[in-house]
Amino acid sequence: MKVRDLMTSHVVTCATNATCEDAAKKMRTEKVGSIPVVEGSKLVGIITDRDIVVECVAQGKSCSETQVATIMTKNPVTCTPETDAHEAARMMAREQIRRLPVIENGTLCGVCALGDLAVVDIHVNEAGEALSGISEQTQIH
């Protein structure tokens, strides 16, 4: 099975000059935990709800003034629609991420999330291993 078969193709994005407040409001409205950041149709980063909390709120920065470009993850790991779903799960585990932006011909065309892989029975082990690896790395000691 390919990423194309599992990914979400309706992707909500924001521009680099959007504020963290703008991004957080989009996340709430769309019920998502991350938003790809684009310049035109080119992916330049990704911002997560955790980024906003840790890099903006917890540091006393103003969410209405801080641009997403200053706290986003730049040049995120990506895959293509033709990437094998097993490989996507391995990439998530290796990179300790839960979401893979999907790029086709240089343009963002979707997002493959860990949950997308978990709903397909043949990928439960890989998705579980990816989540386990992510959880181990992010525990607070």
Q: What is the pLDDT of residues 86-102, one digit of tens each?
A: 899 999 999 999 999 99
Instruction: Count the helix, strand and coil residues of the chain and give each as a percent rounded to the nearest 5.
Output: 45, 25, 30
- Which residue shows structure tokens 């504020």? 19
Contact 20, 71 (CB under 8 A): yes
pLDDT, one tens digit per residue, over 51-71 is 999 999 999 999 999 999 999
Per-residue CA distances from 112 to 16, 66, 91 (Å) = 21, 27, 11
Whole-model pTM?
A: 0.82
- Which residue shows structure tokens 């343009």? 107
Full domain range(s) for residue 9: 3-138
Count how many domains the chain has.
Answer: 1
CATH number for 79: 3.10.580.10
